[in-house]
Amino acid sequence: MSYLSRVRRFVESLRGDGLSGALLRSPANIFYFTGYRGTGYFLVPVDGFPTLYVSPLNFELAEESVPGDIQVIKLEQGSDIRRVFELIPESLKTRIGFDAMEVEDYLKVSGQLVGSMMPVSKHIWKLRMVKDESEIEKIRRACEISSRCMELASELLGEGLTEYEVKSEILREMLSLGGDGPAFDPIVASGPNSSKPHGVYRNRMIERGDVVVIDLGVIYEGYCSDITRTFYLGPGSNEVSRVHQAVSEAKRRAEELIRIGVRASEIYHAAHGVLASAGYADYFLHALGHGVGIEIHEPPRLFRDSEEIFTEGMVITVEPGVYFPKRFGVRIEDTILIKRDGVERLTSAPYELALG
């Protein structure tokens, strides 16, 4: 799907809501509709030409990035949203939509409005949740790179290394394989650090007997991937093995239920039920997963009460986890594409728990 096709579909949804247009500020949304990766303001009128307003610093990049049917306006250095509103036709200020608006900015422009403003994120997410073929191919490549990075991490892990040393090798590998960079700060959490789902900023030495949770993602041509694996540096532990097995089963059960027309909350409850049966329900602290695309966390959200329904072309993660405070945690995660005939797992690193 071309950028202009996306704009046209967005315009139709705005028209259906009786809006005169929308002003977008989220860099992710601007990239989705224009191909430009940078800051600015993107005006989408229901009638008229879409216009991208950027600073002089980004003007050349914007001109090179956007299709010819989108006009690019160079703002004066230091211009803010008030200047953009001065340039917007008066006819658009009657009922204009926005995707992100801080209170301070709203107060700056409220005097220029001749009507009302309303949020339009629901219209944008309806488009962005379903990926087209070009987006899927970029996500697939991001997943291939992240899988290789995870394989490298498993080869490196051992006693005497610090968490930061492993992280630095992960970052070096993702860049050498053609990634734009990390989709988020990679998590390498060992021993008691692994009980914190988002890790901790502490450069711990990895020791024998540690559980190590590694969570990483790559950006490739503007699109993200996400993968987590849990490792155990022996000696054998029946408790760690039982938890890892329960988390693996919860993930397997959730994935086998994913299909078009299923509500995201159903998948959450299926995984939660497996962990509850094993006695770990109180230690499952987060959602089961989330959408992945231009941003690492997107709708649909796999919460207990999510109303979103899976459809073909969605890309999501499935990541059950169990965390025992100050002891250890286990999480396993893959990025998954929902297809007409089932699902495709886009990440592929091995699941083996023990390294020694």
Q: Output the DSSP codes for 122-180.
A: HHHHHHHTS--HHHHHHHHHHHHHHHHHHHHHHHH--TT-BHHHHHHHHHHHHHHTT--
Q: Residues 44, 58: one domain? A: yes
Q: What's residue 93's pLDDT?
A: 85
194 within domain boundaries: yes
Q: What domain range is 255 assigned to? A: 133-345
Segment 69-73 shows an average pLDDT of 95
DSSP string covering 84-112, please?
HHHHS-GGGGSEEEES---HHHHHHHGGG
Report yes or no on 254 lying in a domain. yes
Q: Are residues 151 and 78 in the same domain?
A: no
Q: What is the pLDDT of residues 23-50, one digit of tens each?
A: 999 999 999 999 999 999 999 999 989 9
- Give a yes or no: residue 332 inside a domain: yes
In a domain, 160, yes or no: yes
Say how many residues make up the chain.
356
The predicted pLDDT at position 1 comes to 67
Q: Which residues pair with 190 in a beta bridge?
A: 212
Q: How confident is the model at residue 213 (pLDDT cuts 50, 70, 90)?
A: very high
Residues 273-297 pLDDT 10s: 999 999 999 999 999 999 999 999 9
Question: Quick one: average pLDDT of 76-103?
Answer: 89
Tell me how far apart the alpha carbons of residues 282 and 123 are, in angstroms, rounded to a whole number: 36
pLDDT(191) > 80? yes
Give the torsion through C-alpha atoms of 201, 320, 301, 269, to 10 deg: -150
Handedness of CA 184, 189, 194, 196 (dihedral sign): negative
Q: Give dist(CA 229, CA 251) in Å, integer.
A: 12
**How, if at all, do strands 321-324 and 315-318 pair?**
unpaired
Minimum mean pLDDT range among 24-33, 92-101, 237-246, 336-345: 92-101
What mean pLDDT value characterizes the chain?
94
Domain of 58: which CATH number?
A: 3.40.350.10
Confidence check: pLDDT of 355 > 70: no
Tell me the pLDDT band of 308, cut-offs 50, 70 and 90. very high
The set of residues, in sequence order, having a beta carbon less than 8 Å from that of 257 and lying 6+ positions away, is 266, 267, 270
Claim to verify: residue 141 and residue 112 sit in the same structural domain:
no
Residue 57 lies in a domain: yes
Residue 173 reports pLDDT greater than 60: yes
Assess if residue 352 is contained within a domain: no
Q: Rounded mean pLDDT of 253-269?
A: 96
Distance between CA atoms of residues 248 and 243, nearest Å: 9
160: which 2 tokens? 């005497």
137 and 112 in a common domain: no
Q: What percent of the chain lies above the pLDDT cut of 90?
A: 82
Residue 14 lies in a domain: yes
Q: What CA–CA distances, in Å, run from 355 to 176, 196, 229, 232?
A: 25, 21, 12, 6
Q: Which of 128, 146, 167 corresponds to the end of one domain?
A: 128
CA atoms within 13 A on the CB side of 329: 32
Three-state DSSP class for 317?
A: strand
E-strand stretches of the chain: 21-24, 41-45, 51-54, 71-74, 95-98, 116-119, 181-182, 187-190, 211-216, 218-220, 223-224, 227-232, 290-291, 298-301, 315-318, 321-324, 328-331, 334-339, 342-345
**pLDDT at position 89:** 87
Q: CA 66 to CA 84: how far, in whole Å? A: 19
What does the pLDDT read at residue 102? 85
Tokens of 175: 């860049």
